[in-house]
Amino acid sequence: MEPVFIKIYDRLLKEFGPQGWWPGESIFEIIIGAILTQNTAWGNVEKAINNLKQHNLLTPPELHQISEKSLARWIRPAGYFNIKATRIKNFLQFLFSQHQGDLLQLGELKLSVLREKLLTVNGIGPETADSILLYAFGKPIFVVDAYTRRIFSRHKFISEKASYPEIQQLFMTNLPQDVGLFNEFHALIVHLGKNFCQRKPRCGKCPLSARVYFRP
């Protein structure tokens, strides 16, 4: 195991504190949030989810029954609402056709099996699938996003062209297989990316600027 990854995690946790991620009151809310957050800020997702809550629609049966057009109207704040409505409907079609709409039954599947099934749903890619696996179902898998790639390529752990599986394997190999750790580390990386490792990085104030945390 590469202790530098634990040092990075510990440094970020000390600097930022626990992130409390992923926000959501139910498995289904987290799944819908994972689909809605594609290409948009979380604040917009919250507005869309609140719309669904206010109209008592945030359950699999209710969303399965309403039209795609109606769904698109309620999730409009999340952007790309027509595309995302289709993706949510695709997930619901999968859930009801293969698992009778039962999320608990779905969550009982082995990680590898469930991941493969999620990736067959049109509109759910690796990042969204892994977010659902980790945050909704508590499966030990590391979520990779654009911030992960940017931060760890800038610090020369990976190349800028590294594939999703390559980056994921880096973390899976060099960290304990711990759901809580994977959860918190990814959230801390997102916080770091948003506030320091931006397109124009703020390296001078970055909590990972000291070379002691990285390989020579």
Give the whole-angstrom CA distance, residue 117 versus residue 114: 5
**Domain enclosing residue 200, as ranges:** 3-20+142-213
Q: Are residues 104 and 147 in the same domain?
A: no
What letter does residue 212 receive in the DSSP assignment?
G
Q: Are residues 46 and 12 in the same domain?
A: no
Give the whole-angstrom CA distance, residue 189 versus residue 197: 9
Give the residue from 117, 136, 155 where a domain finishes: 136
| 0.85 exceeded by pTM | yes
Give how many domains the chain has, as a whole number.
2
Chain center to CA of 113 = 19
The token pair that represents 18 in the structure block: 């626990």
Q: Are residues 129 and 93 in the same domain?
A: yes
Give the residue from 136, 168, 202 where a domain finishes: 136
Give the whole-angstrom CA distance, residue 193 versus residue 148: 8
Closest alpha carbon to 28 in 100, 104, 84: 104
Which CATH number goes with the domain that contains 104? 1.10.340.30
Torsion sign over Cα 146, 144, 106, 19: negative
116-152 core/surface letters (b: 16 or more CB in 10 A; e: else) = ebbeebeebebbbbbbbbbbbbebbbbbbbebbbbbb
Q: Are residues 88 and 13 in the same domain?
A: no
Say how many Å lie between the first and final Cα of the chain, rounded: 17
| Per-residue model confidence as pLDDT tens for the chain (216 residues) | 458 999 999 999 999 999 999 989 999 999 999 999 999 999 999 999 999 999 999 999 999 999 999 999 999 999 999 999 999 999 999 999 999 999 999 999 999 999 999 999 999 999 999 999 999 999 999 999 999 999 999 999 999 899 999 999 999 999 999 999 999 999 999 999 999 999 898 888 899 986 545 544
Give the residue from 112, 136, 160 where a domain finishes: 136
